[in-house]
Chain A
Amino acid sequence: MTSIGTGYDLSVSTYSPDGRLFQVEYANKAVEAAGVAIGLRCKDGVVLGVERLLHSKLLVKGANRRIASLDEHIGIASAGLLADGKHLTRRAREEASSFRENYNSPVSVQILSDRISAYLQAYTCYGSVRPFGLSSIIGGVDKTGSKLFCIEPSGVYYGYRAVAVGKGKALAKTELEKIVNKDLESQQSGNVESSLTCKQAIDEVARIIYLVHDDNKDKEFELELTWICEESGNKHALVPEELLKSAEEKAKAALEEGMEED
């Protein structure tokens, strides 16, 4: 990073001469150290997946999940500082439930993402705080359809067809692009909005996570998969055990196959 020794990197309330906020860029570094998190939007819902790296063999299976529910119909997958993620999740849940309290209807994914991003952005304005070391993928199904957003430490957020953050996000993104492009081609021929279903998507997400996982650097990981679709009653839920198992099997098989080709 060019900023080393140049100053301008101690406070988020001071720009560098070329107009950057170094603390925000460092926060992005914290995100890049985390296991990959993926979101994929399908025709019937959204799938979220996380490569949860295990730093100890003593950890309880399934502990310290990185995917959480914000409301019945919205899930969040975060990459970065775990504790920041927990705080943000809690805050976003309050936001979602206060929306319900005020308007007696579920919050849309767009509005919730917007409010969370405003919260994150506030942490880039003051010298007394540090930005969140967190990129969050927010996926959900509301009355406008299935939606997927990614919020970055700067507070900026974009809507996506598919998105990946964390370690190896570049590779994950190229894989996702292949899926989305294939989907777009079939759309042009078949004239449907999207042909990819959540059931197919969980296999793809699992495959990508296994592909991206670096066996040499990180020993073990647990695959976290959640979805929001008809099968889950249009609620954010864990992908059922059998489906998760079969997705993992297929992912491992695909990986073996890929190795033989090399």
Chain B
Amino acid sequence: MWKQPAPANSSFNEYNTFPLPQTQRGQSSHAHGPVGHTQQPLVTGTSVLGLKYDKGVMIAADNLASYGSLARFRDIQRLHPLGKHTLLGVAGDMSDFQWLKKELDALLREEDALALTDSHPSLSPKNIYELLSNLFYARRSKMNPVWNAVLVGGWDKVKEESFLAYVDLLGTTYSAPTLATGFGAHLAQPLLREAYEAKAGIDGEGPLLTQEEAEKVLEDCMKVLFYRDARSINKFQIATITSEGVTISDSKSADTYWKFAEGLRGYGAQTQ
């Protein structure tokens, strides 16, 4: 079972407990045996947007799963309902997303089965979010991250309030009335905040956006993302989560305007 002790001049000490088994200092990088990248995302989804409005939460994501820069799968739903009052919007690796769906669906089925006999309450959005953030942090700590950024939107039946929070592959967590992952955090988040604060104020004390207003803002943001994010597609879905439950819209697209492109000079095969 135990091997011979490593010779003193060995470049790699597999018995080290701390630091973890690693190359001795001063060795060149290709001498690293077991150390390397744990994985890389392969088929990926881009930004997810989330926004609280007066009746609940809206989450938007487009239908594209890219293979690198190739727009490989154009009909992928990245919004996944969990029970009656929770929904995930998932960016990042799509196979990890599929695995996540399977795991969480199994968990919810188990909860449902118990609910019938013991009439115990169903998992709240917060419960699911905490579970996810624990999972993501535990996995990144094993150097084997779940390669996603997730928005959890929901309706808390007990507190009678909406829920919106973010967790990503590093186990980073935060919550805000407007949220966005990836490119959306740079391009859409300022627009979402602007619209949100225009009514609710910086402290969020004022009235929230109405359903129509919220939908309009999200559609605008999806358009901006389509213009500027090369991994996006002009085909997206918006989910709404209210006290009534989850509804996911059919795929739709934003009206785009490309006339200005004719005036652009310096790209492509132009003669003048």
Contacts and interface: CB of A to CB of B under 8 A. Distances in A.
A68 B114 CA distance: 8
B76 interface: no
A67 B102 CA distance: 26
Interface string B101-123: 01000100110110011110000
* Chain B interface, DSSP helix/strand/loop, else mixed: helix
B119 A68 contact: no
A69 B116 contact: yes
A100 B106 contact: yes
A237 interface: yes
A237 to B, nearest CB: 7
A130 interface: no
A64 to B, nearest CB: 9
- A-side interface size class: 10 to 19
A70 B116 CA distance: 10
Given A100-B106, A101-B106, A71 B116 contact: no
Contact of A237 (B106, B109, B116): B116
A237 B115 CA distance: 10
Given A100-B106, A101-B106, A69 B119 contact: no
- B-side interface size class: 10 to 19
Contact of A97 (B106, B116, B117, B119): B106
20 contacts: A62-B119, A65-B117, A65-B118, A67-B116, A67-B117, A68-B113, A68-B116, A68-B117, A69-B113, A69-B116, A70-B113, A71-B113, A72-B112, A93-B110, A93-B113, A97-B110, A100-B106, A235-B112, A236-B116, A238-B116
Interface of B: 102, 106, 109-110, 112-113, 116-119
Shortest beta-carbon contacts, A-B, top 10: A69-B113, A69-B116, A65-B117, A68-B117, A97-B106, A72-B109, A93-B113, A238-B116, A62-B119, A68-B116
Interface of A: 62, 65, 67-72, 93, 97, 100-101, 104, 226, 235-238
